[in-house]
Amino acid sequence: MSQISPSDEAVSPPLRLALILSDSAQAQTRAEELREAHPWVEPEEAEILVVVGGDGFMLHVLHEMLDKGISKPCYGINLGTVGFLMNSLHGDATVLERIHAARRIPVSPLRMHATTQSGEEFSYYAINEVSLLRETRQTAKLEIRINGRVRMGEMAGDGILVATPVGSTAYNLSANGPILPLGCRMLALTPISPFRPRRWKGAILPESAEVEFRIREPGKRPVAAVADQKEVRDVRTVRISTSTEREMTLLFDPGFTLEERIFAEQFQV
């Protein structure tokens, strides 16, 4: 019987990685070192994107993929301040070794459909949250519908937001909203400085829920809708639903997953 030599065995081709650098001074300073660490390919040819910067830059990259209908796993290397969506820069393992050992976290974005007072329509994705905010000193007044049914005829306050589990530790947490565990398939509906009903703390909704806001007195009390960084002013109605068909994937080092960071946020002293 003939023997198979090691050279005859099937060898898996190496992962095709693309390096995506932010324009920050820190990222540019480390650019040469990172370029020498791996034989990088162009983003269009890559299986995985290695994103170097901060949370804001990672969101920018994810939104670019959403807008183009592309879905590639992203491994972030933090050179920003918080780095909630990123991995630590430090470590002895190579980038390729860290990616092979990384845990994959699925992230489903929200899709916002906004109609303005003049009848214009806009549609944007949000990975963290969709916020409705008053534009003037006048309190915003909103009607809240869930799956077509009116759940609150009028909420008065500075605004309201719908957050994903990923975004539940961002603006939502600052507005005293709940932190949602990853994989819970839920959304946080959180009022922003509510005036009426005064004691209303918001609600936790299933991911399948469609949320609709209708602006009361929009001429007197104009409201803007913001899907992460994209703003639509003078809205009349806003519909928000989870876009499961545009699911994204983030990669995290073992022991430093996004899930672990969510736990850590809840037990900070």
Which parts are annotated binding residues for NAD(+)?
55-56, 60, 128-129, 158, 166, 169-174
Under 8 Å CB-to-CB from 168, ≥6 apart: which residues?
A: 177, 178, 179, 180, 188, 262
Read out DSSP for the chain?
-PPPPGGGS--PPPP-EEEEE-SSHHHHHTHHHHHTTS----GGG-SEEEEEE-HHHHHHHHHHHHHHT----EEEEE-SSS-TTSB-S--SS-HHHHHHHPEEEEEPPEEEEEEETTS-EEEEEESSEEEEEESSSSPEEEEEEETTEEEEEEEEEEEEEEE-TTGGGTHHHHTTPPP--TTS-EEEEEEEEEEESTT---EEEETT--EEEEEESTTTS-EEEEETTEEE-SEEEEEEEE-GGG-EEEEE-TT--HHHHHHHHHT--
Q: Is 55 a catalytic residue?
A: yes
The Cα 75–Cα 248 span in angstroms is: 12
Residues 8, 23, 55, 234: which is the catalytic one?
A: 55
The three-point CA angle 13-18-21 to 5° equals: 155
Active site residues: 55
